[in-house]
Structure 1
Amino acid sequence: MTTLSTSGTLPDIHTLRMCFYGAGSMAEAIVRGILDRGLTEPERIGMMNRQNAERMNELSSRYGINGAITAEDKDAMLRESDIVFLAMKPKDAAEAIKRVRDLLHPGQLIVSLIAGMTISTLETLLGKPMPIARTMPNTSSTIGLGATGISFSTSVSDSQRLLADALFQAVGLTAIVEEPMLEVVTGLSGSGPAYIYYMMEAMIAAGSKLGLTEEAARELTIQTVLGAAHMVKATGEDPAELRRKVTSPNGSTQAAIEKFDEYRFTEAVLAAVTRSAERAMEMGADIERNAKS
Structure 2
Amino acid sequence: MAEAIMEGVIKTNKWQANLITIKNRSNSGRLKELQTKYGVIPAPTIKKAVSDAEIIILAVKPKDASQAVKSLEPFIQKEQLIISVMAGISTGTITEWTNNENPVLRAMPNTSASIGYSATALSKGISASDVHVQKAVELFETIGTVTLVPEDKLHIVTGLSGSGPAYIYYIAEAMQKAAEELSLSHEEAKTLISQTLLGASLMLKNTSESPIELRKKVTSPGGTTEAGIGKLDQYQVHDAFIACIKKAVRRSEELGNIK
2:161 paired residue number: 189
Are 2:14 and 1:39 aligned?
A: yes
Q: Aligned pair in 2 of structure 1 residues 192, 76: CA closer, same or farther (>3 Å)?
A: same
> Partners in 2 of 1:43 and 1:258 — Cα distance?
54
| Alpha-carbon separation, structure 2, partners of 1:30 and 1:251 | 43
Match of 2:29 in 1: 54
TM-score, with structure 1 as normaliser: 0.81
- Secondary structure of 1:147's match? strand
Aligned amino acid, residue 25 of structure 2: R
Q: C-alpha offsets along residues 114-152 of structure 1, whole Å, 9 cap, x if unaligned?
A: 122111221211112221111111111122211111111
SS at structure 2 position matched to 1:148? strand
Matches within 5 A, 1:23-172: 26-69=1-44, 71=45, 74-172=46-144
Inter-partner Cα distance in structure 1 for 2:241 and 2:169: 14
Is contact 2:4-2:112 (8 Å) kept?
no
Percent same amino acid at aligned positions? 42
Moved more, 198-207 or 182-191: 198-207
- AA of the residue aligned to 2:78: P
Change (3 A) 1:56 1:208: closer
Mapped contact 1:30–1:170 kept (Cα < 8 A): no
The whole-number CA distance in structure 1 between the counterparts of 2:220 and 2:66 is: 55
Secondary structure of 2:122 counterpart: strand
Letter in 2 for 1:259: K
Q: CA deviation at 1:216?
A: 3.4
Match of 2:99, as an amino acid? G
* Structure-1 residue corresponding to 2:145: 173
**One of 242, 249, 254 as aligned partner of 1:282:** 254
Deviation at 1:80, TM superposition (A): 1.6
- Aligned 8 A contact 1:29 1:141 in 2: yes
Distance 1:204 1:179, change over 3 A: same
Report how far residue 155 of structure 1 moved.
0.9
> 2:223 maps to which residue?
251
RMSD: 2.0
Contact 1:112/1:132 (<8 A) preserved: yes
> Does the CA-based 8 Å contact 1:33-1:144 persist in structure 2?
yes
Q: In the superposition, relative to structure 1, how do residues 177 and 262 fare at CA in structure 2: closer, same or farther (>3 Å)?
A: same
Q: SS state of the match for residue 21, structure 2?
A: strand
Shift of 1:222: 2.5
Deviations 1:185-228 (A, max 9, x none): 11111111111111122222222334434443343322322222
**For 1:88 and 1:276, how far apart are their aligned partners in 2?**
18
Q: Secondary structure at the match of 2:57?
A: strand
Kindly tell me: are residues 64 and 282 of structure 1, through their superposed partners in 2, closer, same or farther at Cα, counting changes over 3 Å? Answer: same
Note the alpha carbon deviations across 1:29-82, whole angstroms, 9 max, x for none.
Answer: 22222222222333322111223333333333333332212x3xx413311211
Quick check: 1:262 aligned with 2:234? Answer: yes
- Tell me the number of residue pairs that the alignment of Structure 1 and Structure 2 aligns: 259
Q: TM-score, normalised by structure 2?
A: 0.91
The structural deviation recorded for 1:236 is 4.7
